[in-house]
Amino acid sequence: MTQPNLILIGMPGSGKSSLGQALAQELPLKFLDMDQEIERRAGQSIPELFDQGEDYFRALESQLAKDLGQAQGLIIATGGGIVKDPQNIKALKEGGKVYFIDRPLEQIAGDIAADQRPLLKGRVDQLQVLYRDRYPLYQAAADFHIPNPASLDQCLSNIIATYRKDKNHEISNS
């Protein structure tokens, strides 16, 4: 039996990719990182794609969201900006449920390798702007809100418990 997707959203540095990889060891789902898949499909790195314009990157991201909405059996780590276009979330929700990984801004700022994140480029002030702008979008998009304040293991346990409690992870058509 094919399982619906488990979709992770949140700020850059919130733990989506690390959690997704760990979840794939615990659940009958395969892990897919959207940024890595975009790089694979385009044959270029995320910074190279952003050099062609954020709109260009977002178009690639939107196409992948549509494709993944038709897939099953995946744990999907989205890029932090996936929520900027409501159609991306709508497309992804066709195939699964959305989990908002909510990590405090102070912890993200302390950990993030900003030089690898095109929209940040080492600027904590930019991170604060992204957080302020995106936080309500993450909240609105989420089927489940998962705090990630300190322990990745605790966050992982919370996701697994929520996933298993969710009546076989049925998909809602909201």
- Any binding-site annotation on 14? yes
Alpha-carbon gap, residue 91 to 156, rounded angstroms:
25
- Any binding-site annotation on 172? no
**Residue 134: HSE in the Cβ half-sphere, 13 Å Cα cutoff:** 24
Alpha-carbon gap, residue 174 to 154, rounded angstroms:
29
Q: In terms of DSSP bridges, do strands 5-9 and 30-33 run parallel, antiparallel, or are they unpaired?
A: unpaired
Give me 165's structure tokens: 């409690």
- Any binding-site annotation on 30? no
- Any binding-site annotation on 18? yes
> Is there a contact between 41 and 64 (Cβ–Cβ < 8 Å)?
yes
- Any binding-site annotation on 15? yes
- Any binding-site annotation on 16? yes
- Any binding-site annotation on 90? no
- Any binding-site annotation on 132? no
- Any binding-site annotation on 117? yes
Give me 36's structure tokens: 């890595």
- Any binding-site annotation on 35? yes
Q: Is 139 helix (H, G, I), strand (E, B) or coil?
A: helix
Binding residues for substrate: 35, 58, 80, 134
Binding residues for ATP: 13-18, 117
Binding residues for Mg(2+): 17
Binding residues: 13-18, 35, 58, 80, 117, 134
